[in-house]
């Protein structure tokens, strides 16, 4: 089931006040997000990621294009009852305590007082902020504010959660905890739309990603598809030498890494199977064959540098 | 409805946190204490005794005199303090990170603005209720003259505030500046409006040109008229006939226009 779908979404801003010159923040962006997936949005600074999230949430209006969330046009604001949002650099009223923040935003989400209290207890415990619930948030660290922000985004038990840099300012242990929370949310059927600069993190938890550059969608797909390097396989075998080594080097053009590991580049499955047959005929045990992958980060850098 | 109430109480909560309520309470309490002191000093006691000896009418006149003084003090001090205090409501709401979160909630932009507006108005109403209510109780118990029209001034002063607050809101939305909102509202209330109110005695004695007079009259009718409303309040307390309710109607129209313009602008704006 489609949770979000956009078609030819564009957004232009005037470059200066009263100027006719326009800046294209988003250009003909078409994509969709399926129910129950963690969708990652990547891109360098100024790529249009936050603009896209703001448009999807009705904070900013698109210049052109169609958007449907839960199969409804976003002019019908009722969809927001099923949505949670953690903005980047969010600013909660600093005179409130942690539990007051959750109460206030829970009420604004249309929750009744009983549910707000129950969920406040539940989510403050989940993000490990229970002991700071009465403390004014002006005394919170960045990491604590992010945890509280995450709790806030889950308060109304949303089906779709937008998270803009959720681990910003959070220490590595906190990041791991947030990743675990997101994975658990996914297991309960929630759809998560994640915007993060931490590509390793995106790679760990996202099912699909879209890469934006200068407002244009440059790549999208499943993480494993995007990070796969075509036709390069890593063979891990029992030790080989002599004729086998000679054949691997000369006939199969393999790149030898060690006496029991080599790279083989193959554009078709027939040559791959041919090599496997050869190894088996020569009593070489195959421990594993792994298609080589790029890290999301190196793929991202190559792609963006290539574009620029 | 609960979302709308949350917005109203959120505004009041903000006022409490920013010590606005405490400010009102302290200023009001000081005024009440000064008032208590004044009505208990010997010379005033003597005046009260003299008025009492001249009959019930004398006491009434004295009480009404105190009430009119109180209305003018409230108008000057409290309303000024209110303008300064609430001017930050809209710019702080528009801060990046705060407005994003608010707009992501299932509350319409109109509800957000009206929640801020009604929260501010309720805040001023409660503050005036405290100040004028207590002064009324003191005066009435001391004189035995329970003059209810004085209590109506709470509503009139609240209305005056609401009219100017609608303008503050509009300026805050467009300029995102607390200072500009304060300057324009104070200039309007304490310079433009009194001058336009007294235009016949002041400007028209200097300007004979009909076109210029027309323009000045135009501004008088278009702009809010807190000075006139204050005069209506005073007339109501003193029992003088009220010449016209036009200033009230035109000011309320101004408020509705300013609120509509704010809502229209806020609904179209990208954040």
- The predicted model gives B237-242 an average pLDDT of 90
Mean pLDDT, chain B, rounded, equals 88
CB-CB contact of A306 with A298 (8 Å): no
- Percent of chain A scored above 70 by pLDDT? 99
CB-CB contact of A57 with A162 (8 Å): yes
Confidence category of residue A178, pLDDT binned at 50, 70, 90:
confident
| Nearest residue on chain A to B16, alpha-carbon basis | A95
Give the pLDDT confidence score for residue B99 in this predicted structure.
95
B6 close to A (CB below 8 A): yes
Helix (H) or strand (E) holding B157: helix B149-175
Q: Which of A54, A91, A108 sits opposite B107 (nearest CB)?
A: A108
Best of B1, B17, B88, B100 to substitute, by most chain A Cβ atoms within 10 angstroms, is B100
Give the pLDDT confidence score for residue B207 in this predicted structure.
81
Give the pLDDT confidence score for residue A281 in this predicted structure.
92
Stretch among A243-252, B50-59, B229-238 having the lowest mean pLDDT: B50-59
B168 exposure class (CB count in 10 Å sphere: 0-12, 13-18, 19+): buried
Enumerate residues 279 to 298 of chain A having a beta carbon within 8 A of any beta carbon in chain B: none
Give the pLDDT confidence score for residue B34 in this predicted structure.
86
Give the pLDDT confidence score for residue B47 in this predicted structure.
66
For the stretch A213-257, pLDDT in tens is: 989 999 899 988 887 766 788 999 999 888 899 999 999 999 998
Within 8 A of B270 by CB-CB distance, chain A residues are 13, 54, 59-61
- The predicted model gives A31-53 an average pLDDT of 92
For the stretch B70-113, pLDDT in tens is: 888 888 876 777 788 888 899 999 999 899 999 999 999 999 99
Give the pLDDT confidence score for residue B112 in this predicted structure.
95
B209 close to A (CB below 8 A): no
A57 close to B (CB below 8 A): yes
Best of B21, B99, B105 to substitute, by most chain A Cβ atoms within 10 angstroms, is B105
DSSP B240: P
The whole-angstrom separation of Cα B109 and Cα A270 is 62
Residue B53 has pLDDT above 70, yes or no: no
Residue A293 has pLDDT above 80, yes or no: no
Q: Which of B14, B268, B270 sits opposite A93 (nearest CB)?
A: B14
For the stretch B146-191, pLDDT in tens is: 888 899 999 999 999 999 999 999 999 999 898 998 899 889 888 9
Give the pLDDT confidence score for residue A36 in this predicted structure.
92
Q: Which of A13, A85, A107 sits opposite B104 (nearest CB)?
A: A85
Per the CB < 8 Å rule, is B106 touching A107?
no
For the stretch A62-90, pLDDT in tens is: 999 999 999 989 888 889 999 999 998 89
| Bigger pLDDT: A40 vs B80 | A40
B174 close to A (CB below 8 A): no
Rg (alpha carbons) of chain B, rounded to whole number: 21
**A204: closest CA of chain B, how far (Å):** 27
Show the tokens assigned to B221. 């009718």
The whole-angstrom separation of Cα B49 and Cα B63 is 13
- The predicted model gives A26-37 an average pLDDT of 93
Count other C-beta atoms under 10 Å from residue B128's C-beta: 23
Give the pLDDT confidence score for residue B202 in this predicted structure.
80
For the stretch B28-49, pLDDT in tens is: 899 889 888 887 776 666 666 6
Confidence category of residue B50, pLDDT binned at 50, 70, 90:
low
Give the pLDDT confidence score for residue B79 in this predicted structure.
72
Q: Tokens 């957004």 label which residue?
A: A11
Show the tokens assigned to A259. 């006496």
Burial A109-120 (b: 16+ CB within 10 A, else e): bbbeeebbeebb
| Nearest residue on chain A to B9, alpha-carbon basis | A104
Count other C-beta atoms under 10 Å from residue B80's C-beta: 15
pTM score of the predicted model:
0.82
């Amino acid at each position: 089931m489609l949770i979000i779908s956009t078609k030819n979404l564009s957004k232009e801003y005037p470059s200066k006040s009263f100027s006719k010159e326009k800046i294209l923040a988003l250009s003909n962006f078409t994509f969709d997000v399926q129910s129950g997936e963690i969708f990652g949005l990547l891109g360098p600074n100024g790529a249009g990621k936050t603009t896209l999230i703001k448009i999807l949430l009705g904070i900013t209006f698109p210049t052109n294009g169609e958007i449907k969330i839960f199969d409804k046009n976003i002019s019908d604001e009722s969809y927001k009852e099923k949505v949670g949002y953690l903005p980047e650099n969010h600013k909660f009223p600093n005179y409130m305590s942690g539990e007051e923040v959750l109460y206030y935003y829970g009420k604004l989400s249309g929750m009744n007082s009983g549910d707000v209290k129950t969920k406040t207890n539940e989510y403050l415990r989940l993000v490990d902020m229970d002991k700071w619930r009465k403390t004014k948030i002006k005394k919170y660290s960045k990491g604590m504010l992010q945890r509280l922000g995450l709790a806030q985004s889950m308060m109304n038990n949303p089906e779709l959660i937008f998270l803009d840099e959720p681990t910003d300012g959070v220490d590595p242990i906190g990041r791991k905890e947030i990743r675990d929370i997101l994975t658990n949310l996914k297991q309960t059927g929630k759809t998560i739309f994640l915007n993060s600069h931490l590509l390793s993190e995106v790679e760990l938890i996202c099912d699909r990603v879209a890469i934006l550059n200068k407002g244009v969608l440059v790549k999208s797909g499943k993480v494993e598809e995007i990070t796969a390097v075509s036709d390069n396989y890593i063979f891990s075998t029992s030790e080989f030498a002599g004729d086998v080594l000679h054949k691997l080097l000369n006939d199969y053009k393999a790149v030898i890494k060690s006496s029991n590991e080599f790279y083989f580049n193959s554009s078709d499955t027939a040559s791959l199977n041919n090599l496997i047959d050869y190894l088996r005929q020569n009593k070489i045990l195959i421990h594993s064959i792994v298609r080589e992958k790029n890290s999301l980060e190196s793929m991202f850098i190559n792609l963006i540098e290539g574009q620029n | 409805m609960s979302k709308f109430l949350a917005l109203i109480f959120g505004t009041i909560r903000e006022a409490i946190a920013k010590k606005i309520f405490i400010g009102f309470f302290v200023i009001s309490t000081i005024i009440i204490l000064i008032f208590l002191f004044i009505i208990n000093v010997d010379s005033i006691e003597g005046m009260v005794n003299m008025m009492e000896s001249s009959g019930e009418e004398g006491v009434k006149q004295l009480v009404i005199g105190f009430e009119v003084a109180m209305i003018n003090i409230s108008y000057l001090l409290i309303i000024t303090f209110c303008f300064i205090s609430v001017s930050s409501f809209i710019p702080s709401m528009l801060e990046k990170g705060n407005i994003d979160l608010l707009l992501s909630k299932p509350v319409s932009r109109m509800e957000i603005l009206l929640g801020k507006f009604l929260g501010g108005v309720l805040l001023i109403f409660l503050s005036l209720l405290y100040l004028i209510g207590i002064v009324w109780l003191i005066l009435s118990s001391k004189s035995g003259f329970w003059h209810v029209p004085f209590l109506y001034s709470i509503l009139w002063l609240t209305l005056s505030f609401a009219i100017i607050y609608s303008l503050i809101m509009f300026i805050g939305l467009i300029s995102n500046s607390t200072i500009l909102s304060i300057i324009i509202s104070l200039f309007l209330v304490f310079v433009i409006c009194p001058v336009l109110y007294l235009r016949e005695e002041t400007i028209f004695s200097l300007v004979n040109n009909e076109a210029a007079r027309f323009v000045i009259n135009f501004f008088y009718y278009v702009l809010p008229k807190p000075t006139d409303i204050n005069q209506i309040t005073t007339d109501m307390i003193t029992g003088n006939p009220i010449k016209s309710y036009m200033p009230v109607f035109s000011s309320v129209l101004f408020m509705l226009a300013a609120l509509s313009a704010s809502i229209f602008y806020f609904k179209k704006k990208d954040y």
